[in-house]
Amino acid sequence: MSPWLILACVGVYFSLLLSIAWVTGRRADEAGYFLGNKQSPWYIVAFGLIGDSLSGVTYLSVPGQVAKDKCSYLQVILGYVLGYILIAQILLPLYYRLNLTSIYSYLGERFGRSAELTGSAFFLLSRTLGAAARLYLAANVFQTFVFTPLGLPFAAAVTGIIGLILLYTWRGGIKTLVWTDSFQSLFLVLGVVLSITFIARDLNLGPSALIQEVLNSPMSQVFVWDWRAADNFWKQFLSGAAIAVVMTGLDQNNMQKSLSCRSLGAAQKNLYSFTVIMVLVNACFLALGVMLYRYMEVRDLALPEQTDQLFATVALQHLGPLAAGVFVLGLTAATFNSADSVLTTLTTSFCIDFLGFERRSDLTPEEQTRRRQWTHFGFAVVLLATILIFKAVNQGAVIKLVLQMAGYTYGPLLGLFALGLFTRLRVGGPRVPVVCVIAPILCAVLAMNSKQWLNGYVFGFELLILNGLLVAGGLVVLARKRDSEPTFPKRT
């Protein structure tokens, strides 16, 4: 597929996004930008969350990692199910009862201003790094197959992608993203389903033969029971539950869309529907990985140096123009979906928690809009710089990099929220950020030396749980006093 044809597909796709943004965002005010005026249909939110949870990382890295990790990643996905149930039953009722715009305002009401700023800061760091990793992966593919043949540098490709995202998120915010994300999720899911179909057709496999090919492959192994292995079932299942809680339930990026639903019941229906679809779609991505490697074996093709390039190599160079077009649209959906909501939710968290939009009466609506727009643009610049750093240091499949970063940066959020929800302790002041910084450092040291110190034990994603426990435990030791009951002030 020629670089110009790929750009044409992206251009058509982007034109559709702009049209949706114009319709949904032309009358958007600050309430529409932050929470969509609490009018988002739950089924639209649910389908749009698919693209947020999958993104370019799943689209490219998960299929490529099948050769190394087989289908053990499904253990993490099964853990997600438990995590989403906990979110729907514990966190969503709390957020709706307190009428939150930024979920980190809860930490401020529970522990004080220091805890709110600490929680928000860790979210800003976590999401910036995660979004940069995802965007880097997708942009790198575009660079290989489009911009390098056209003689354009990587920085130009990333700048163009972020510039396009700014255009359709600038005004509408969540009010626009609920609809554009659903549109993009459709293309992302079609990308994987149709790609499996194209591979099966090329290998002359019918539906039943395709299923047997996947199930009989040595790469289809899901469960690992060796307790010392990083991908042991219980490690990954429990870590998956914790990852779902922190990266969805304690993450402004995902919760902001759920909080834009009309009611708590609608938000819970959104989350349960999303859970079912998420498991099925991730299983399809793993099956796609098995079939990609089978295709390379049958056709006697050389594997790319980086596993992240496997899907792109097969789709763009071997399956024909229709399959290439489907891949490009799916990757484009993953690329834009990875970063558009991130820019909006980073802006929301910073404006509510750091700039105090909900506390300050001295800011006129016009001044709030101006500051919000400058913040939105500033995070776009930060994201661009972070992606360029990733370009310089990336050394492997990005899926593990993102989840490893989550273990260090989301761990403090897990500890803070757990302490607030399940204890009566009151902890505030500078001790909160101090403990939240020390705990990830201790986890990193322990992870690097676990083989020597713990008789060969290798930490997996359960490092996230340990991180949260260290934060909660450290703050328990430093607690100022014990109240008779938790304090949950009502918000107006």
Largest CA distance in the chain: 69
pLDDT for 28 equals 62
Mapped onto helix, strand or coil, the DSSP state of residue 481 is strand
Q: How far apart are CA 268 and CA 165, in angstroms?
A: 29
Residue among 176, 144, 193 at smallest CA distance from 44: 176
Q: How far apart are CA 430 and CA 105, in angstroms?
A: 17
In a domain, 417, yes or no: no
In the Cβ-directed half-sphere of 449, how many Cα atoms lie within 13 Å?
7
Per-residue pLDDT of the chain (492 residues; tens, 9 = 90+): 678 887 887 788 888 888 887 887 666 667 777 877 788 899 899 988 887 777 666 777 788 888 888 888 899 999 999 999 999 999 999 999 999 999 999 999 999 999 999 999 999 988 888 788 778 877 777 787 788 888 888 888 888 888 888 887 777 678 888 888 888 888 888 888 898 999 999 889 888 999 999 888 888 888 888 877 777 888 889 888 988 888 889 989 889 989 999 999 999 999 999 999 999 999 998 999 999 999 998 888 888 877 878 888 888 888 888 888 888 888 778 777 767 788 888 999 999 999 988 888 888 888 888 998 899 999 999 989 888 887 777 655 554 566 566 668 888 999 999 999 988 888 878 889 999 999 999 988 888 888 888 888 877 667 888 899 999 999 998 875 444 344 444 444
Residue among 487, 490, 492, 491 at smallest CA distance from 110: 487
Residue among 2, 427, 23, 393 at smallest CA distance from 10: 2
pLDDT for 185 equals 86
Cβ neighbours, 10 Å, residue 184: 30
The whole-model pTM stands at 0.83
pLDDT for 485 equals 40
Encoded tokens for 166:
């700014």
The kind and range of the H/E element at 366 are: helix 365-393
In a domain, 94, yes or no: yes
Alpha helices, H only, 203-320: 207-216, 233-244, 252-258, 264-298, 310-317
CATH of the domain at 198: 1.20.1730.10
Q: How far apart are CA 408 and CA 441, in angstroms?
A: 8
Which residues, other chains included, contact 98 with Cβ-Cβ below 8 Å and sequence gap of 6+?
A: 105, 106, 109, 488, 489, 490, 491
pLDDT for 168 equals 76
pLDDT for 129 equals 81
In a domain, 460, yes or no: no
Q: How far apart are CA 304 and CA 451, in angstroms?
A: 31
The answer to whether 162 and 132 have CB atoms below 8 angstroms apart is no
Q: Which domain holds residue 194?
A: 3-397
Report DSSP state, residue 308.
Answer: G
In a domain, 150, yes or no: yes
In a domain, 467, yes or no: no
pLDDT for 406 equals 61
Q: In total, how many domains does the chain have? A: 1
In a domain, 42, yes or no: yes
pLDDT for 21 equals 79
pLDDT for 10 equals 79
Q: Rounded to the nearest 10 degrees, what angle do helices 463-477 and 411-422 cross at?
A: 50
In a domain, 93, yes or no: yes
pLDDT for 306 equals 79
Residue among 2, 168, 130, 137 at smallest CA distance from 56: 137
pLDDT for 117 equals 94
Name 481's bridge partners.
426
Whole-angstrom distance between the N-terminal and C-terminal Cα of the chain? 55
pLDDT for 400 equals 58
In a domain, 173, yes or no: yes
Encoded tokens for 95:
């957020």
Residue among 193, 246, 184, 129 at smallest CA distance from 16: 184
